[in-house]
Structure 1
Amino acid sequence: MGPATRRLTMADVATLAGVSKATVSRVLNGEPGVSAETRMRIKALVDELSYVVSPDAARLSRGRTGRVAVVMPQTTTWFYAAVLAGVLSVLRPEGFDALVYQVADDTESRRFFADLPAKRQVDAAIVVAFPVSDYERRQLDLLGVPVVIAGGALPDHPHVRVDDVAAARQAVTHLTLAGHERIAMINSAVPPDRPYAPPVDRLRGYRTALDDAGLRYDAGLVVELPWSATMGAEGMDRLLSADRPPTAVFAFSDEVAIGALRSLRRAGIAVPRQLSLVGIDDHPLAELSDLTTVRQPVELQGVHAARMALALLGGGSVADAHVTIPTHLVIRGTTAAP
């Protein structure tokens, strides 16, 4: 039997070494219970035969795949890439791989979730800032593995997130304390069939801050648009077209705020002398744009979510299944008194 004749198996190595298959497995996996002499003999034989352990076979022999699914609507934008970096920083040292699934639209979502229970290839799943429908939640439950939510919440599942109401309240309170009374908001629209908490919560925080300052809520100062790369610019164009434009604008995110800055620059409106602007995230471009924002630790949400998943896989429980990470205001050059 030569290595070129057929693919060697662990059983072949065991036969040639005169030991059991279990003994070979222990040596290849670095486990105790094998004498030094036997260990050296098996390792020498493995080197001679160029035998390579199949990662999948090794994992399955331990009753696991060694994989965690990470489900997200995008993979290239900063927020999702940062969460994924946090997840990987925890999984890799523990010997787990991440299978990343991008579910960018309704067609991909239907196909992915319809096939999900039949393709159980993971030990756990982390869903990142993804609006999950009732049907999709049921499909996740059918997986029979721990499911953790990062950047949002889902009933009956552990989650890690920021308090979006509090973050919006921090942003708008900063504007009211500066003396602004006519404050607008550019918000992300929520599809009726896909409830998504952050836009709803940030609108509530916006309204709460206005109430705190004794200011009347004006629905005409709230622009809601489907998420896109240009929604900030489009939203600001609409606000500037009003009979009485605002003196300050709170944007759903820094990316939206940066789009709004483009429209303000083209309109020749000085920021913050003529209009103040604040966002949420502390995106890397926020500092370059000198944008006042509310910082949320994005990568840390991925770290916490991965730790939760591994704790549940280890048979333990999560001490705090609902983690809320604090946010704080970062004042830069886009806000001032009106």
Structure 2
Amino acid sequence: MSDSARPARMSTITDVAREAGVSVATVSRALRGLDRVSPETREKVIQVAEELNYMASPTATSLASGRTEVVGVVAPFLTRWFFASLVSAIEKSLRARGHHVLLFDLEDESYDSRLHLSQNLLWRRVDGVITLNLPMTDEELALLDRLALPAVAIGTPMPGHPCVRIDDADAMRQATEHLISQGHRRIAYIGAVPGNVAHVLTPQGRRRAFEETLAAHGIPLREEWVLNCDWTADAAAEHTSALLTCFSAAERPTAIVAASDEMAFGAMAAAHRLGLHVPDDLSVVGIDDHTLSNVLGLTTVRQDVEAQGQVAANLLLGALLDDQPLDPSVMTYVPTELVVRDSVAPPR
């Protein structure tokens, strides 16, 4: 084989150090964005590394530093808009500081169960963990402690670790009180779940707030109008259709509160298929402000999903890079707001 046909030798960190006139340690710090490197030196090292097409070996970097520069993001589902949006926001925040995401999708074959974290999944693979609306078992919490992994929760609190979330009860109160302010008294709810589902806190908290808001306004709760649902648009459409066909026009609910926008979409679709008009025949309100909510004219309570991901990622990065200990008592609430569109009107 001629010299011109031979594959080029891969550049090493030693080559970069020699060409830049600095030590190997300085090259490592410069390329990892660490302190104690002047801006001029960092710029020179980056330029030389690009010219030599140098690529750092993640394995070698991990062995040398004891860090993987990877954060484990643990979710009960990845097919839902909320979780996908959170992962995107977290990944962007981590990437900006030289870290990356390793996803752990714990979705099982049934809605009311999930897979579990194990030492084989986490050990020497991640520097920290962010959980997404996931109640952790005692065994999983003990595993994080044993591996000394800093962790931050989003949504469902994790004992002994900081949490970033919205006030679910307040969000549901805003949604329900908006319907009441428009004159609705026959209000149904969709989004109740059994107590053993894998992500139980948010559904139960929102349902409880719905019931408390009705009671505060002297409105009786009709249990047959509280619909169990697996939090998908398809399931919501099926349950809403069954509800609306069980009652005459004079007896059925005039409004539905959906615990998520995706379920609200299903409720709106069911009404449409039955020849009902939203909002003249049925008002619908959701929670989330899904990317499709504006297009479909859904009145909803907006939660800033991107901000939740950013805050959680920055808390964890502070512990990993800036020696800022995580305060387990910190509970950061990201505010919500009612967004009024076209899906709510006074009852006829």
C-alpha deviation, 1:193, in angstroms: 6.2
The counterpart of 2:59, out of the listed 44, 56, 61, is: 56
Aligned to 1:136: 140
Aligned to 1:260: 267
> In 2, distance between residues paired with 1:203 and 1:134?
26
C-alpha deviation, 1:26, in angstroms: 2.0
Query: Residue type matched to 2:307 in 1?
Result: L
Query: Does residue 180 of the first structure (1) align with residue 192 of the second (2)?
Result: no
Rate the CA distance shift 1:47–1:148 in 2: closer, same or farther, 3 A.
closer
Aligned to 2:237: 233
Rate the CA distance shift 1:122–1:329 in 2: closer, same or farther, 3 A.
same
5+ residue gaps, structure 1, are none
Describe the SS at the equivalent of 2:23: helix
Query: Does residue 90 of the first structure (1) align with residue 93 of the second (2)?
Result: yes
Aligned to 1:248: 255
Greater Cα offset, 195-204 or 56-65: 56-65
Rate the CA distance shift 1:271–1:59 in 2: closer, same or farther, 3 A.
same
Aligned to 2:161: 157
The answer to whether the 8 A contact 1:253-1:281 is kept is yes
The answer to whether the 8 A contact 1:116-1:139 is kept is no
Query: Residue type matched to 2:64 in 1?
Result: S
The counterpart of 1:213, out of the listed 203, 217, 224, is: 217
> In 1, distance between residues paired with 2:52 and 2:285?
64
C-alpha deviation, 1:89, in angstroms: 2.3
Matched length: 328
Aligned to 2:276: 269
C-alpha deviation, 1:141, in angstroms: 3.5
The answer to whether the 8 A contact 1:66-1:122 is kept is yes
Describe the SS at the equivalent of 1:284: coil
Describe the SS at the equivalent of 2:159: coil
The counterpart of 1:330, out of the listed 307, 324, 339, is: 339
Aligned to 1:167: 171
The answer to whether the 8 A contact 2:165-2:332 is kept is yes
The answer to whether the 8 A contact 2:231-2:262 is kept is no
Query: Does residue 223 of the first structure (1) align with residue 227 of the second (2)?
Result: yes
Aligned to 2:84: 81
Query: Residue type matched to 2:221 in 1?
Result: Y
Aligned to 2:289: 282
Rate the CA distance shift 1:90–1:9 in 2: closer, same or farther, 3 A.
closer
C-alpha deviation, 1:136, in angstroms: 3.3
Greater Cα offset, 191-200 or 232-241: 191-200
Rate the CA distance shift 1:12–1:287 in 2: closer, same or farther, 3 A.
closer
Rate the CA distance shift 1:202–1:50 in 2: closer, same or farther, 3 A.
closer
Greater Cα offset, 227-236 or 214-223: 227-236
5+ residue gaps, structure 2, are none
The alignment's C-alpha RMSD in Å is: 3.4
Aligned to 1:24: 24
> In 2, distance between residues paired with 1:178 and 1:208?
18
C-alpha deviation, 1:10, in angstroms: 5.7
The answer to whether the 8 A contact 2:16-2:27 is kept is no
Deviations 1:100-119 (A, max 9, x none): 222211699546436335x3
Query: Residue type matched to 2:294 in 1?
Result: E
> In 2, distance between residues paired with 1:70 and 1:310?
13
Query: Does residue 72 of the first structure (1) align with residue 75 of the second (2)?
Result: yes
Deviations 1:173-199 (A, max 9, x none): 111111111101001414426462111
Rate the CA distance shift 1:111–1:209 in 2: closer, same or farther, 3 A.
closer
Describe the SS at the equivalent of 1:167: helix
**Residue correspondence of structure 1 range 299-310 to structure 2 within 5 A:** 299-310=306-317
Describe the SS at the equivalent of 1:230: helix
TM score, norm. by length of structure 2: 0.82
C-alpha deviation, 1:148, in angstroms: 0.8
> In 2, distance between residues paired with 1:219 and 1:174?
21
Describe the SS at the equivalent of 2:96: helix
